[in-house]
């Protein structure tokens, strides 16, 4: 059986938190989602720090490592270029990989701003390989179920979307000034990091966003340059944002994100209200979806139903454990990468299940528009 399954060589840029998550996802899909469309082979991993990247290669199981990403994107043996680098390194390596005919998956946000993301989207349309943005929350079984219920009309006409992504990771003012807090590397702060996730889910579930009215703010304006120094540097990106959003279908909503919320570990929450019912979801309980259908009499007494999305018939859960045995955050990367590999091998479209580079561009454009609204104090209409 194994001899008949093709292989795909993976070249990865970046070896930190997200690189580890992607490497783990490739390994899991190889044996959990059996038989896989192809078996990913961890071929090359790339980073600038030789000691760190060589250690990552050993730890994750890559055949080798490189210090220059150009050697990865030009290597004829690489089938998938996986860009897990900081935001400022999304554009050039990804574009070169596309021009070299590679299949490319790029972490979010697609680029540091909408202008560069649009260039990437245009190039991807004419590229030989498949391309996808790594908005992994599209692959949560509960989110897929929410999308199914909406598409089937079970919620009715959508009136409201409320989405928030809250963490406590930056509440300590003595936490060092990382690349995520510097505009030259990140482009935006929480708006691009956490906000892009909730914005993508709003578009995925409800529809196109046509106008925003937002505010961004930086509460902690200086941080230590490192753990071992009292010298401080300037935080020149947002550490929180709020925005009203208007959808093409007439729905209205709010999106917000912050890393200054004590007690919130990884709290990504959304609620959708429609003419026939409501849906709500909490990432910290990712195997559950709460639903309320107005036409079911028991709901009027009991309120929301808590649905455990762990049956073998539920999306992706069938590959894991017996029903009732939950999966975790890290397993979402196996779902995401399985989808991408399947699209490559069987020549399927990445969208609408996965996020295309067009989706990545539009999310980046919305982030730009929220930033613009904050600067001008005015409502901004989206023009793609």
pLDDT digits (tens, 9 = 90+) for 208-246: 999 999 999 999 999 999 877 789 999 999 999 999 999
> Does a structural domain hold residue 381?
no
Q: Give the C-alpha separation, 348 to 367, whole Å.
A: 29
Q: Do 114 and 237 sit in the same domain of this protein?
A: no
> What's residue 300's pLDDT?
62
Instruction: Summarize pLDDT for 2-50 with one digit per residue, the tens.
Output: 468 999 999 999 999 999 999 999 999 999 999 999 999 999 999 999 9
Where residue 185 falls among pLDDT bands split at 50, 70, 90? very high
Across 144-153, b (16+ Cβ under 10 Å) vs e yields bbbbebbeee
Q: In degrees rounded to 5, what are phi and psi of residue 331?
A: -70, -20
Which of 136, 167, 182 lies at the terminal end of a domain, its last residue? 136
> What's residue 301's pLDDT?
62
Q: Do 7 and 113 sit in the same domain of this protein?
A: yes
Q: Do 130 and 215 sit in the same domain of this protein?
A: no
> Does a structural domain hold residue 185?
yes
Q: Do residues 207 and 247 lie in contact, with contact meaning Cβ atoms separated by under 8 Å?
A: yes
Q: Do 229 and 125 sit in the same domain of this protein?
A: no
Q: Which two tokens stand for residue 274?
A: 């429609």
Higher pLDDT, 313 or 73: 73
Q: Do 127 and 191 sit in the same domain of this protein?
A: no
Q: Do residues 42 and 10 lie in contact, with contact meaning Cβ atoms separated by under 8 Å?
A: yes
> What's residue 315's pLDDT?
84
> Does a structural domain hold residue 171?
yes
Q: Do 171 and 312 sit in the same domain of this protein?
A: yes
Q: Do 312 and 292 sit in the same domain of this protein?
A: yes
Q: Supply the range of the domain harboring residue 49.
A: 2-136
Instruction: Summarize pLDDT for 316-330 with one digit per residue, the tens.
Output: 988 999 988 999 999
pLDDT at residue 1 tops 50: no
Which of 136, 157, 192 lies at the terminal end of a domain, its last residue? 136
Q: Do residues 239 and 259 lie in contact, with contact meaning Cβ atoms separated by under 8 Å?
A: yes
Q: Do 206 and 261 sit in the same domain of this protein?
A: yes
- Ranking 27-36, 241-250, 266-275, 289-298 by mean pLDDT, the lowest is 289-298
Angle between helices 141-151 and 195-205 (to 10 degrees): 30
> What's residue 118's pLDDT?
98
Q: Which single residue is written with the structure tokens 């993301």?
A: 117
CATH code, domain with 26: 3.40.50.720
Q: Report the number of distinct structural domains present in the chain.
A: 2
> Does a structural domain hold residue 100?
yes
Q: Which two tokens stand for residue 323?
A: 């029903």
The predicted model scores a pTM of 0.95
Return mean pLDDT, the chain: 96
Which of 109, 136, 163 lies at the terminal end of a domain, its last residue? 136
> Does a structural domain hold residue 57?
yes
Q: Do residues 89 and 95 lie in contact, with contact meaning Cβ atoms separated by under 8 Å?
A: no
The average pLDDT across 326-339 equals 97
Q: Do 192 and 106 sit in the same domain of this protein?
A: no
> What's residue 226's pLDDT?
84
> Does a structural domain hold residue 26?
yes
> Does a structural domain hold residue 342?
no
Q: Do 74 and 214 sit in the same domain of this protein?
A: no
Percent of the chain with pLDDT over 90: 93
Q: In degrees rounded to 5, what are phi and psi of residue 51?
A: -60, -45
CATH code, domain with 246: 3.30.360.10
Residue 4, classified by CB atoms within 10 Å of its CB into exposed (0-12), middle (13-18) or buried (19+), is exposed
pLDDT at residue 104 tops 80: yes
> What's residue 30's pLDDT?
95
How many residues are present in the chain?
384
Q: Give the C-alpha separation, 161 to 254, whole Å.
A: 6
> Does a structural domain hold residue 332?
no
Q: Do 98 and 200 sit in the same domain of this protein?
A: no
Q: Do 48 and 96 sit in the same domain of this protein?
A: yes
């Amino acid at each position: 059986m194994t001899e008949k399954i093709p292989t795909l060589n993976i070249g990865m840029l970046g070896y930190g938190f997200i690189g580890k998550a992607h490497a783990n996802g490739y390994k899991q899909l190889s044996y959990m989602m059996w038989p896989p469309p192809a078996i990913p082979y961890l071929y090359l991993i790339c980073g600038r720090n030789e000691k760190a990247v060589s250690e990552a290669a050993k730890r994750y199981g890559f055949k080798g490592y490189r210090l220059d990403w150009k050697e990865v994107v030009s290597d004829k043996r690489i089938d998938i270029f996986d860009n897990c680098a900081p935001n400022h390194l999304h554009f050039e390596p990804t574009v070169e990989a596309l021009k070299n005919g590679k299949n490319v998956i790029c972490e979010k946000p697609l680029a540091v701003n909408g202008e560069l993301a649009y260039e990437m989207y245009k190039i991807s349309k004419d590229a030989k390989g498949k391309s996808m943005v790594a908005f992994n929350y599209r692959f949560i079984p509960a989110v897929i179920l929410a999308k199914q219920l909406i598409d089937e009309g079970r919620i009715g006409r959508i009136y409201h979307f409320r989405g928030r992504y809250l963490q406590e990771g930056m509440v300590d003012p003595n936490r060092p000034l990382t690349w995520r807090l510097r505009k030259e590397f990140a482009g935006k702060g929480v708006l691009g990091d956490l906000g892009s996730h909730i914005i993508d889910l709003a578009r995925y579930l409800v529809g196109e966003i046509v106008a925003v009215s937002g505010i961004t703010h930086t509460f902690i304006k200086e941080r230590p340059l490192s753990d071992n120094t009292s010298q401080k540097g300037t935080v020149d990106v947002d550490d929180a944002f709020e925005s009203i959003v208007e959808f093409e279908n007439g729905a209205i909503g709010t999106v917000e994100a912050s890393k200054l919320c004590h007690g919130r570990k990884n709290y990504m929450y959304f609620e959708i209200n429609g003419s026939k019912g409501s849906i709500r979801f909490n990432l910290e309980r990712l195997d559950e979806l709460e639903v309320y259908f107005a036409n079911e009499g028991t709901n009027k007494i009991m309120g929301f139903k808590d649905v455990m999305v762990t049956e073998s018939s539920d999306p992706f859960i069938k590959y894991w454990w017996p029903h009732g045995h939950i999966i975790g955050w890290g397993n979402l990367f196996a779902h995401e990468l399985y989808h991408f590999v399947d699209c490559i091998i069987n020549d399927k479209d990445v969208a609408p299940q996965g996020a295309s580079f067009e989706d990545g561009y539009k999310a980046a454009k919305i982030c730009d528009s929220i930033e613009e609204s904050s600067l001008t104090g005015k409502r901004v209409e989206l023009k793609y």
